[in-house]
Amino acid sequence: MSDLLAGPVEAAAGLAVYGADAVDKAAPASTRDALVKAGVPGKLAGKDASLWGPDAEAEAKIRLGWVDTHRRSRELLVQLAELTAELADLDHVVLAGMGGSSLAPEVITQTLGRPLTVLDTTDPGQVRAALGDRLERTVVVVASKSGSTVETDSHRRAYWQAFLDAGMTEAEAGRHFVIVTDPGSPLEATAAEMGAFTVLADPNVGGRYSALTAFGLVPSALAGVEVAELLDQADALATSLGADQNNPALALGAALGAAATLARDKVALVSDGTGIDGLGDWAEQLIAESTGKAGVGILPVVVESPQSPGATGADVLTVSYGGALAPGDMPGGGAKPDVAVNGPLGAQFLAWEYATAVAGVVLGIDPFNQPNVTESKENTNKILASGLPAETPSFTEGAIEVYAPQGAPGDLAGVLRWLLDGLGDDGYLAVMAYLDRFADADAARLRPLLAQAGGRPVTFGWGPRFLHSTGQYHKGGPQVGSYLQVTGAVAEDLAVPGKPYTFGELQAAQAAGDRQALAGRERPVLRLHLTDRAAGVAQLLDAAGDLRA
């Protein structure tokens, strides 16, 4: 019998959490018992903003709407049905959004087998490819809570110009846009000027907790998902959130928090292959941006399979996720995770949000702010205004220009080995690829190769997407990270209409701005610039594959 099945299982509304009790009991005192004694389950279910301390209370008061937003979201169902019928002839749905505005719809549509083009990049090649795909049949969902996200605004401008260049009138172009934003944001006013459809989101829910708000539901519904089922699944779980027992979300949160207090502060997120696709990428942002601050945090590491390097380790809590298990099925998909979370997708969203908030209580941090996210943004704006700083490569090898810290080796294999050897017993390596995540998709194969070679947790993020996710953890969490940034030559740039910069210049400025933020913390940052992307990726994979642990 699986160790997970042998132990207590917390279950409610079809969602089951296996193994959490054993993780909690490894601590000197039960984290869960302490949470129950403090009345945390009932307080959180009742949206008590005092749970995270007086400094966090003002933020929490306006960010706890996620606890029951799935009920208010039912008010959107009629509007979504009307919108879907009105736009039935536009069968190519593009979502222009970043972080919390794009990750949940991507999980929903992937899991339920509906097509959705997610545009969460400033790479000119990737943007150009999207613009050239079925333009006449495209509806663009522009999603931004603040209404001022630079990437999303750039996408909106590019599509608007593309529609006009295709011969549409402004009125016709406006019909191809659906704007999702908070009430009163600048984007709401822009939508009115464009003649676009507008759906207002719940203002009391932060971006990374917004899976079951308009941000998650609008693009999913337009792509053909029956979103009412997600709300039903969350609603069924919600009745357990205030309970001390049979509360799987509490069990998960207590396990995450307990593990972090025992120096198991990296969480490997592994799909068990039972039908939920991409949830790890969504949970990565939720956990990293919510907990990585004030020098503490939980680092999520999304791994490719239960057998992939980096799924285990002395400071790693391995958590698998998937759909409901059939009788007799073993949790974990053949692996042996510490914790397994299985159940319907709508319940998964709510459970992970609740668990992350509970982990925030345990760690003593505010899970609703993101104090370091703006740092790279500010650097980017300064660089766009003044120009990219002049940089000279340390050396060039094949199709790769290497920009290495002083004292690093002078060959590609050597500098990669140097970066891995510097991780220590508690460090991690973050690979940050400012590339086209479809045309340059092979770059993601770096993660398991470097994890195998280094024997330490390795994360992989597409830039600038990760800036809205693990970017907060990199700067606000424990300062034990090392960073490998990969940039690429732009073969054909693309203008951002109405702006004095191109997508390529914006992408380069975002990469440079983040390098500045990381280097300012005196952490190792190695930049590899691919002068030929295809050749450079292949060369880099060969070099990483030749490394030995």
Q: How confident is the model at residue 4 (pLDDT cuts 50, 70, 90)?
A: confident
R_g over Cα of the chain: 23
pLDDT tens digits along 347-389: 999 999 999 999 999 999 999 999 998 888 899 999 999 999 9
In whole angstroms, what is the distance from residue 71 CA to residue 433 CA?
38
Q: Specify the DSSP class assigned to residue 18.
A: E
One-letter amino acid of 279: L
pLDDT, mean of residues 129-152: 96
pTM score, whole prediction: 0.97
pLDDT in tens, 440-474: 999 999 999 999 999 999 999 999 999 989 999 99
d(CA 202, CA 184): 12
Q: What is the dihedral of CA 491, 494, 495, 497, to 10 degrees?
A: 180
Residue 549 has pLDDT above 70, yes or no: no
Return the minimum-mean-pLDDT range out of 26-30, 223-227, 247-251.
Answer: 26-30
CA angle (356, 360, 364) in 5-degree steps: 170
Say if residue 507's pLDDT is above 60: yes
Please say if the pLDDT value at position 191 is more than 70: yes
Q: Average pLDDT of 497-520?
A: 96
CA distances from residue 497 to 124, 165, 446, 500, 503 in whole angstroms, order as listed: 13, 12, 34, 8, 10
Q: Quick one: pLDDT at residue 1?
A: 38
**If you average pLDDT over residues 165-182, what whole number do you get?**
98
Question: Contact at 8 Å (CB) between 65 and 205?
Answer: yes
Point out which residues pair with 10 in neighbouring strands: 17
User: How many DSSP H helices and E strands does the chain contain?
Assistant: 23, 17
Range in 25-29, 121-125, 309-313, 422-426 the model is least confident about: 309-313
Share of the chain above pLDDT 90, in %: 92
Helix (H) / strand (E) element for 488: namely: strand 481-488
Mean pLDDT over 416-437 rounds to 96
Evaluated on CA atoms 351, 356, 359, 360, the torsion sign reads: negative
Using DSSP, state whether 453 is helix, strand or coil: helix
Give the three-class secondary structure for 495.
Answer: strand
> How far is residue 130's CA from residue 119's CA, in Å, rounded to a whole number?
8
Could you report the per-residue pLDDT of 35-44, keeping only the tens digit for each? Answer: 999 999 999 9
Residue 376 in tokens: 């790279």
DSSP-derived secondary structure for 270-301: EE-SSS--SHHHHHHHHHHHHH-BTTB--EEE
User: What is the structure's pLDDT at 332?
Assistant: 86
Q: What is the mean pLDDT of the chain?
A: 95
Give residue 405's pLDDT band: very low, low, confident or very high (50, 70, 90): very high
Decide if 77 contacts 228 (C-beta within 8 A): yes
Q: Please state, in angstroms and rounded to a whole number, the distance separating the CA atoms of residues 507 and 367.
A: 29
* End-to-end CA gap in the chain: 34
548 or 187, higher pLDDT: 187
Residue 197 Cα distances to 145, 191, 192, 466, angstroms: 16, 7, 8, 29
**Taking 80 as the threshold, does the pLDDT of residue 546 lie above it?**
yes
Q: Which residues contact 100 (CB under 8 A, 6 or more apart)?
A: 145, 206, 207, 208, 209, 210, 215, 285, 468
Please report the domains of the chain, with CATH numbers, ordered by start residue.
Answer: 9-65+241-363 (3.40.50.10490), 68-232 (3.40.50.10490), 373-546 (3.40.50.10490)
pLDDT, mean of residues 411-436: 96
Taking the mean position of all CA atoms in its chain, how far away is CA 169? Answer: 36
The mean pLDDT value for 288-310 works out to 94
